[in-house]
Amino acid sequence: MPPGHWLLGHLRERRRDPLRLFTTSQQLLGDVVRYRMGYIYVEQFSHPDQVRQVLVDGKDIYVKGTIWDKLRPLIGNGVVTAGGQEWKRQRRLAQPVFQHSRLEPICLIMTETIAEVLESWHAPNTIALFSQLRKLTLSVVIRALFGTELAPQLPAVSDSFVAALEVTNRRIISPIPYLPWLYRAPTRDNLAFRRAARDLSKVVEEIIRRRQSTGDPASPDLLALIMAAQLAEENQITPRLLRDEIMTLLLAGFETSATTMTWALCLLERHPEAWRCMVTEVDLALGGRTPQFADLVALPYTRAVIEETLRLRPAVWAIPRMATRTDEVQGFRVPRGDIVVLVPYVTHRHPDFWEDPHKFDPTRFLAPGRGEIHRWAYFPFGAGQRKCLGMDFAIMEAQLTLAMIAQRYQLHSPDQLDVRPDPYVTLRPTGEVPMLVFPR
C-alpha cells in the first residue's frame, strides 16, 4: 500500500490525479496495489490474468456496486444499471439489436449525419474539435435511434440530454453516495436536471406512443429493432423499459464516442506518418465516394487507428467492481465489500505485454502482430458478460467519421497544443481542443 494520509488515506491523490496515482503505484509496487479511500479499501489489479479472473471467472463475485445508481435518475433501470435476472433479461433483449449484420441499415443514417456536421466546419476555419464531435456523435445516435422522426426537435433534444448528462457526471464523481432524497433538493443542479430530464422524457415517450399506435416494422432505426425484440420476447411493449433502454443508448453512444474520436484526431495530428497512411488507405479504398457498410473491411488501418487510440486513451479508463464475498485473486486476498478497480489506462501500457507501450503505433492492430496481443491485456469495452454491446456500433461510427474527415480535411493544432487527459467519468480531453481545419 502506498503511503497516504492518516485519515483520508489516498482520497486526495485519487481526486487530484488518479491517472498518476494508478500508473505510478503499478510501476513502483507491481500488479496488485491496495489503497484506502477514507474508510473504503480499494484493490487495483493490473495484470491481464487478474483482469480475466475479475471480469470473467469471478463475474458472480465482483459486481458493479452502487456507484452506477447515480445514473438511474437519467437512464432508469436500463441494461447499464440493472442487475441480477432483470439485467439478464434486458441484455437478452438488446443483444440481437447490435449484431454486426443488423448495422448495415444504420450505416447510411450515420454517413448522412456525419456529412451534414462536417459541412458545417466551413474550412479553412478554427473549430472546437471536442464540441463538434460531441455534436456529431449525439446527432448520430439520436438519428440511429429515431431516424428522421426527431429532425425538427434535434437541437432541443440534444441540449436537454447534454444538460442532464453534465449534472449526472458531477454526481458520479462526487464522493457523496446516491441518496434519492438529496437529488430532490432545490439546488441549481437538481433543478436543471429535472427540467432537462422532463423535456427529454416527454419527447421520447411521445415517439414511443406514436410508434405503438402506428407501427413501422420497415423502419431501419434502432427503436424499431428494440421494439421488435421486446415484442418477440414478451408479446407486449413495456413503455417504461423501452424508455430506459433508449436513454441508456443515448448515454452509451454519445460521450465515449466523441472522446475516442477527439483523441484519435489529436494523435493523428501529432503523428503525420500515421495520418498519411490513413489518408492513403481511404483514398484507395473509396476513391472519393461516401463509405458504405461493405467498405469497412477495406479500411483496416483506419480501424487500427481507433483501436490504438483506445489503447492509449480508453474512454472508459477505469472499471470498478465490488466484492460480494471474500475471494482470492492470484494469491491476494480480497475481503468482502472491498472495491476492486481494473484500469485499462494502466494495463494497456503494461511493459510486459506491450512493446514500446507509450508509442502511438496503429500497426500493432494489423496482421500478423494483432494475433500476438494478449487476450486480456486490451479491454477498452470491458470483458465478460458485461462487455459493451455497442462495440461494433461505436467502431463503425468512428471508422466512418475518420474516413470522411480524411476525405475532406487536413487538421493542424495551433501552436502544437498539448492536449492533456482529464479523467472525468470518461477520459475526456482537457478543454475544447481548438483545431485548424483546411480543405484537402
Please answer whether residues 259 and 429 qualify as being in contact, where contact means their C-beta atoms are separated by less than 8 angstroms: yes
Banded model confidence at residue 218, pLDDT cuts 50, 70, 90? low
Of residues 56 and 98, the one with the higher pLDDT is: 56
Banded model confidence at residue 234, pLDDT cuts 50, 70, 90? confident
pLDDT on residue 215: 61
Is the pLDDT at 236 greater than 80? The verdict is no
* 391-408 and 104-119 helices, crossing angle to 10°: 40
d(CA 214, CA 266): 45
pLDDT on residue 254: 87
Whether 242 is in a domain gets the answer yes
pLDDT on residue 22: 97
Q: What are phi and psi of 380, to 5 degrees?
A: -65, -20
First to last CA, the chain: 53
For residue range 47-57, list pLDDT tens digits in order. Answer: 999 999 999 99
d(CA 164, CA 195): 8
d(CA 295, CA 308): 20
d(CA 169, CA 158): 16
Is the pLDDT at 92 greater than 90? The verdict is no
d(CA 161, CA 82): 21
Of the candidates 34, 433, 33, the residue with the CA atom closest to the CA atom of residue 267: 433
176 to 23, 48, 240: CA distances (angstroms): 25, 32, 28
pLDDT on residue 156: 85
pLDDT on residue 77: 85
Give the distance, in angstroms, between the CA of residue 47 and the centroid of all CA atoms in the same chain.
22
Please answer whether residues 63 and 324 qualify as being in contact, where contact means their C-beta atoms are separated by less than 8 angstroms: yes
Per the structure, the count of domains in the chain is: 1
Q: Cell numbers at residue 235, please?
A: 408479446
For residue range 257-295, list pLDDT tens digits in order. Answer: 999 999 999 999 999 999 999 999 999 999 999 999 999
DSSP 8-state symbol, 291: P
Is the pLDDT at 181 greater than 60? The verdict is yes
User: What does DSSP say about strands 40-45 and 339-342: parallel, antiparallel, or unpaired?
Assistant: parallel
User: What does DSSP say about strands 327-329 and 40-45: parallel, antiparallel, or unpaired?
Assistant: unpaired
Whether 240 is in a domain gets the answer yes
Of residues 27 and 210, the one with the higher pLDDT is: 27
| Number of Cβ atoms within 10 Å of the Cβ of 416 | 8
**What DSSP letter does each residue of 378-420 carry, written as one string?**
--BTB-GGGS-TTHHHHHHHHHHHHHHHHHHEEEE-GGG--PP
d(CA 283, CA 58): 46
Whether 44 is in a domain gets the answer yes
Q: What is the pLDDT of the chain when averaged over all its residues?
A: 91
The DSSP element (H or E) to which 247 belongs, if any, is: helix 239-252
Task: Please name the residue that has the C-alpha cell 466546419.
Answer: 121
Whether 18 is in a domain gets the answer no
Is the pLDDT at 91 greater than 60? The verdict is yes
Whether 108 is in a domain gets the answer yes
pLDDT on residue 411: 95
Is the pLDDT at 415 greater than 80? The verdict is no
d(CA 421, CA 312): 10
pLDDT on residue 439: 96
pLDDT on residue 207: 85
d(CA 55, CA 387): 9
* 300-312 and 272-286 helices, crossing angle to 10°: 150
Buried b (16+ CB within 10 A) or exposed e, 333-350: ebeeebbbbbbbbbbbbb
Of residues 216 and 273, the one with the higher pLDDT is: 273
Give the distance, in angstroms, between the CA of residue 37 and the centroid of all CA atoms in the same chain.
26
Whether 6 is in a domain gets the answer no
Please answer whether residues 306 and 48 qualify as being in contact, where contact means their C-beta atoms are separated by less than 8 angstroms: no
Whole-model pTM above 0.95? no
Whether 28 is in a domain gets the answer no
pLDDT on residue 154: 81
Domain interval for residue 297: 39-439
Whether 311 is in a domain gets the answer yes
Which residues are CB-neighbours of 139 under 8 A, at least 6 positions away? 113, 116, 117, 154, 158
420 to 84, 147, 220, 428: CA distances (angstroms): 38, 36, 39, 9
Range name among 96-100, 109-113, 313-317 with the lowest pLDDT average: 96-100
Please answer whether residues 246 and 173 qualify as being in contact, where contact means their C-beta atoms are separated by less than 8 angstroms: no
Buried b (16+ CB within 10 A) or exposed e, 113-137: bbeebbeebebeeebebbebbbbbb
Of residues 93 and 140, the one with the higher pLDDT is: 140
The most confident of 59-68, 251-260, 357-366, by mean pLDDT: 357-366
- Could you tell me how many helices (H) and strands (E) the chain has, helices first? 16, 12
pLDDT on residue 216: 56
Kindly report the CATH number assigned to the domain that includes residue 334: 1.10.630.10
Of residues 301 and 180, the one with the higher pLDDT is: 301
Alpha-carbon dihedral 316, 397, 102, 249, rounded to 10 degrees: 50
pLDDT on residue 177: 81
